[in-house]
């Protein structure tokens, strides 16, 4: 049996993860991260940062009879995740803060902290699995495809996978709630958060501050209106543009010119992506076809690897994709096994696909 540190958010998933490991005979300790300020009376449910969430995790740990720590990591979170979030939006890109939090906080800083205290493994309530293949360990999609979270875990370094445990990988959400009820956990019927942990009123724009107004232009470059800051827009957006006629969609953002480009829906389609910050779990070969997920809960689309560099790649979807968004995560899979994570950069429609 192992000494395992469980990251407990105060929700049902991590509560059950801790309970299952305890039932298996492991020496379990819980830890809850304070990442951003959220008032206890904010009305949030199932998040990871409010005082109520910390208290819920503490109560579950007490009920299970395991030690519990609360770590204040607001400074680290602000310097890394929040800083990147703001920088990306100011550049006209759409970031994924959960991906970054896993990269810089949960599976980097916490792993180091756990190792310092002598824990052999770190566990979470993510819906993901680990699979050994040809002597290496890989992340594999969870059994519950509606809850699979390997997309958000694609930033984890390959070398730390052997130190991780995902007790819920073989379970569905309803099964997890049933286990929580069997265990008598107070979080059994706790709701799930649908928001960013640092945007408590569901409006991330308030976390970014005021943006600089600029021009709305059509695809010919003609001014057709004014925007109130590119931070308030994302690729594929239709609502809130403020123009009559249409329908119009946000098809591009130019932070250098402070312009938001709008156009018809057909302008949203592209088939070629240049992606950076490549985090690979195995060698990627030019010419191979992988299943690409350009956003969470995407069904996955076949894409051919055109070129691979040390930290970037270029791929081409076999069928053009709608609203490929710079700044978003591009996760690549071979079957159910995660091959790589990356960040979408430039997107375009190649000439030979414009008739598709």
Catalytic residues: 101, 197
Is there a cis peptide before residue 247, judged by omega within 30 degrees of 0?
yes
- For 114, phi then psi, to 5°, come to -65, -40
Residues 126, 49: Cα–Cα separation, whole Å: 17
Residues 22, 26: Cα–Cα separation, whole Å: 5
Residues 142, 161: Cα–Cα separation, whole Å: 15
DSSP symbols for 75-127 = HHHIIIIIHHHHHHHHTT----HHHHHIIIIIIIIHHHHHHHTT-SEEE---S
- For 8, phi then psi, to 5°, come to -110, 115
Bridge partner list, 291: 302, 333
Bridge partner list, 33: 71
345, 273 contact by CB (below 8 A): yes
Q: Give the helix ranges, DSSP H, for the chain.
A: 12-23, 51-64, 74-77, 83-90, 97-101, 110-116, 173-183, 205-208
């Amino acid at each position: 049996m192992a000494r395992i540190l469980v990251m407990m958010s105060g929700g049902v998933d991590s509560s059950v993860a801790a309970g299952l490991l305890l039932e298996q005979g492991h020496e379990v300790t819980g830890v809850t991260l304070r990442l951003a300020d959220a008032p206890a009376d904010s009305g949030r449910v199932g998040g990871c940062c409010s005082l109520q969430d910390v208290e819920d995790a503490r109560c579950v740990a007490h009920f299970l009879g395991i030690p519990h720590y609360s770590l204040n990591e607001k400074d680290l979170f602000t310097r890394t995740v929040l800083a990147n979030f703001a920088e990306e939006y100011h550049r006209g890109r759409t970031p994924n803060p959960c991906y970054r939090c896993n990269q810089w906080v949960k599976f980097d800083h916490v792993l180091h902290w756990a190792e310092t205290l002598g824990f052999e493994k770190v566990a979470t309530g993510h819906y993901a699995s680990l699979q050994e293949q040809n002597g290496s360990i890989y992340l594999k999609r969870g059994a519950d495809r509606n809850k699979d979270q390997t997309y958000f875990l694609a930033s984890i370094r390959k070398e730390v996978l052997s130190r991780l445990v995902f007790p819920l990988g073989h379970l569905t959400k309803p099964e997890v709630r049933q286990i929580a009820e069997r265990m008598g956990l107070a979080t059994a019927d706790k709701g799930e958060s649908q928001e960013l942990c640092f945007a408590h009123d569901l409006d991330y724009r308030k976390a970014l501050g005021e943006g600089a107004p600029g021009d709305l232009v059509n695809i010919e470059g003609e001014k057709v209106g004014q925007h109130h800051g590119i931070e308030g827009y994302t690729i594929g957006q239709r609502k809130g543009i403020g123009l009559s006629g249409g329908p119009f969609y946000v098809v591009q953002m130019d932070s250098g010119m402070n312009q938001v480009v709008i156009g018809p829906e057909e302008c949203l389609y592209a088939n070629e992506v240049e992606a950076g910050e490549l985090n690979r779990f195995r060698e990627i070969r030019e010419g191979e076809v992988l299943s690409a997920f350009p956003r969470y809960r995407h069904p996955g689309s076949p894409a051919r690897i055109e070129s691979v560099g040390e930290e970037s790649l270029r791929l081409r979807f076999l069928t053009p994709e709608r609203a490929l968004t710079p700044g978003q995560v591009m996760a690549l899979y071979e079957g159910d096994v995660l091959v790589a994570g990356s960040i979408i950069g430039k997107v375009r429609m190649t000439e030979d696909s414009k008739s598709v």
